[in-house]
Chains A and B, each alone.
Chain A
């Protein structure tokens, strides 16, 4: 029976594609291996159900397709069977949901020793901010955003003076330390997305959102925007560079703080004005 055969081939083909095709997720670079595990588990359970249902259908088509003299059975209900199937499904669903919720609990519980960093999205670029020596990020306000103060820090907030501001460069992070990423946007929704970290979250103007993760592999990773933010959404790129502690510190030394940047700008302006007179 051609129809039955094709149905069966669709099921088998899907499984073979899954197992043999080269297209799979990128190697992970964060602590969220549990997420990958939950996806794998879900693939196994749902894959088995898919094959079972389609194979059963194919068998029915093969076995019961119309022939001269065939008459269908008359069987309106079968309570026992229906209950068994319901209970079986509930068990399967619970087997996926339970680990999922456990991992979600970890995902939303930020470790106390996580260090905070800030990512800011803007049509269509990324900026970053790292706390200075005081370990604290200063307050900010979108009303302060200007070309002199791209992240909108409050000039009066002492905690913000030593914050490291990275306006158009890459973000560097030390390996092995939990990071809480605070997310902000000045204009529209964006989403800070690094496929290798598995985590992502929207950035919402007027609010601060967050997620946390621990980098587990050194290297350079693409940052993409995963929430439609206008015409150049697909071109909104940057990089995260995960380094060993020593290299990271060396890089950090070279970055400029908010105070240095605004000081510089003030000096620049002053020089300009002097020379212009």
Chain B
């Protein structure tokens, strides 16, 4: 263990980086708009992602209004309901969470945390953002084209996705959706290559891989996964576009639509599902791993204690990343694929639970005998653990093939994935924003507003999604705008649905408080100083706050220790920054 802790060698000379390597902006435009500085690009990504995320949030209100009070809102008809769920799901998963974690946090934190001046390919990095923005614009455009956005569900399963029985299927909706996804993937690939190469090539002296903060490990692994997984979605989108626009039959078997025999024949709907989930399952972890990494750092910093079992944590991230490529068909247990697959995919899926559980244990063991500061970031980290454990455990239901049979395609699934990849990562997003906002802006977010925002969001979201499992258990299918008359759903379930909807509206409204806090604190927040939380990682040790272009002034920092030297016995303060040379105090008890 000791090898990752700190150097005894003080004789390393700092690396100077010659100035010409960085592009220096010459005008307002190249400083703030067409910027090549990863920090500016990060903010552009984050603001765009949050703006489009607000659209998804409003859509969730509309859906919940319809589900809680069916028949009351005449402006929501069945086909609009399908359009709402589709756009809501797609935006939340891809355009908000993926973009925010990788494009937002990745861009801001990777160079700073590994001690680099910037991403290694700043120009490509800039292009990445602009292509992402274009993808978002195309996505938004689908709301305004004839026929409206596609209502095929975020999974876009053919044949229905490109037929006339589905909103947008034979109009512009699906075409623009696929085009937008293709653009997103191109843009992401440009950014993703940057993140990976920067981590591998641009780490400062002393920053070995096993000294990187878990945030970087999480984002790095997620990016590698995304670079491997998105191509599957890319080819699926291209092929579906061809099926729709040119009448090819990659995914289309011989079929009749509304009594008409179509020209399609010989394609396979299941092929699409395999491609989609070969991307789609890793996607869950593309969102989750950055959250895992970030939350580890939040917990460690705010509990003033080293993360427990750092090396296990790193290996668990890598193991989860690798395993998540061999579990995709757990989304297809009732798709009609060969039943023998069930044995294999159920086994791999439940095996992933083991490294995942290790991570949970290590988070809570980090709290044990800590000095827990209940700051807003820490509160969100705690809420993350609660919701993630809850959602992860229901994953054991759905992963266990035969248990999935009655539950799949019901509201139980909707509750499960919202808990595990909706609420839990969003808790981390909030925690991370409260944590790093002082570095990004130089000011603290307002604490009172933050705590209010926290409690309403955490308890509200739990009240939305915990009871929803039981609606599903009763047999309520997902993607139903109205369950109508059935013999098996009791009247009381409608009251439960109304309750869920009210909670959802309250949670949504609380986000306005957050947005207000972001804006207000920018001007009125308390001055933060360089390192308000007493954190060890490099981004808190920059000469200026917010960090200037090039991050480090003349000399790059040198790293002497891992990222978790909190409350080291004998140290004068309860944290030792990664770039603090050894000496001054003796490291005692390093072998626990």
Q: Is the interface of A mostly helix, strand, loop or mixed?
A: mixed
Residue pair A145, B256 in contact (C-beta under 8 Å): yes
Residue pair B374, A191 in contact (C-beta under 8 Å): no
Whether A154 is near chain B, meaning CB under 8 Å from some CB there, is: no
Contact flag A147-B259 (CB < 8 Å), given A23-B492, A228-B160: yes
Whether B261 is near chain A, meaning CB under 8 Å from some CB there, is: yes
Residue pair A188, B163 in contact (C-beta under 8 Å): yes
Residue pair A78, B160 in contact (C-beta under 8 Å): no
List the B side residues contacting A108 at CB < 8 Å: 339-340, 342
* Chain A, range 224-252, C-beta contacts under 8 Å to B: 224-235, 237
Q: What's the least CB distance linking B581 to chain A, in Å?
A: 19
List the B side residues contacting A64 at CB < 8 Å: 303, 367-372
Q: What's the least CB distance linking B224 to chain A, in Å?
A: 24
Q: Please, which residue of chain A has its CB at the minimum distance from the CB of B358?
A: A86
Q: Please, which residue of chain A has its CB at the minimum distance from the CB of B368?
A: A60
Interface locus among B39-47, B190-198, B305-313, B441-449: B305-313
Q: Please, which residue of chain A has its CB at the minimum distance from the CB of B493?
A: A23
Q: What's the least CB distance linking B318 to chain A, in Å?
A: 16
- Identify 19 new A-B residue pairs, CB closer than 8 A, beyond the known A25-B406, A143-B254, A231-B167: A22-B492, A23-B490, A26-B475, A32-B406, A50-B393, A60-B372, A65-B372, A66-B374, A71-B567, A72-B304, A90-B354, A97-B350, A104-B346, A105-B343, A142-B261, A191-B409, A203-B336, A230-B166, A235-B78
Q: What's the least CB distance linking B362 to chain A, in Å?
A: 8
Q: Please, which residue of chain A has its CB at the minimum distance from the CB of B355?
A: A86
Whether B480 is near chain A, meaning CB under 8 Å from some CB there, is: yes
Whether B257 is near chain A, meaning CB under 8 Å from some CB there, is: yes
Q: Once bound together, how far apart are the Cα atoms of A10 and B163, in whole Å? A: 45
Contact flag A234-B590 (CB < 8 Å), given A17-B466, A23-B496, A100-B403: no
Residue pair A206, B308 in contact (C-beta under 8 Å): no
List the A side residues contacting B474 at CB < 8 Å: 23-26, 195
Most buried by A among B258, B261, B382: B382
Residue pair B308, A75 in contact (C-beta under 8 Å): yes
Q: Which of A93, A100, A199, A234 contacts B480 (CB 8 A)?
A: A234
Enumerate 23 A-B pairs (CB-CB under 8 Å) in ascending A order. A3-B382, A23-B496, A25-B473, A25-B474, A42-B400, A42-B403, A46-B394, A50-B389, A54-B389, A66-B304, A73-B369, A74-B592, A77-B312, A82-B309, A86-B358, A89-B354, A93-B354, A97-B400, A107-B405, A193-B477, A195-B488, A200-B334, A204-B270
Q: Once bound together, how far apart are the Cα atoms of A7 and B369, in whole Å? A: 18
Whether A61 is near chain B, meaning CB under 8 Å from some CB there, is: yes
Q: What's the least CB distance linking B535 to chain A, in Å?
A: 14
Most buried by B among A35, A198, A202: A202
List the A side residues contacting B487 at CB < 8 Å: 220-222
Contact flag A187-B256 (CB < 8 Å), given A72-B304, A100-B403: yes
Interface locus among B99-107, B151-159, B501-509: B151-159
Question: Which 3 residue pairs are nearest across A and B when measured between Cβ atoms?
Answer: A206-B253, A195-B475, A230-B165
Q: Mark A45-78, 1 if CB is under 8 A from B, else 0.
A: 1100110011011001100111000111111111
Residue pair B334, A205 in contact (C-beta under 8 Å): no
List the A side residues contacting B406 at CB < 8 Å: 25, 32, 35, 39, 195, 198-200
List the B side residues contacting A76 at CB < 8 Å: 1, 5, 306, 308-310, 564, 590, 592
Q: Mark B106-126, 1 if CB is under 8 A from A, else 0.
A: 000000000000000000000
Residue pair A61, B372 in contact (C-beta under 8 Å): yes
Whether B30 is near chain A, meaning CB under 8 Å from some CB there, is: no
Whether A159 is near chain B, meaning CB under 8 Å from some CB there, is: no
Q: Mark B308-341, 1 if CB is under 8 A from A, else 0.
A: 1111100000000000000000000011100110
Contact flag A229-B480 (CB < 8 Å), given A82-B312, A93-B353: no
Residue pair B370, A72 in contact (C-beta under 8 Å): yes
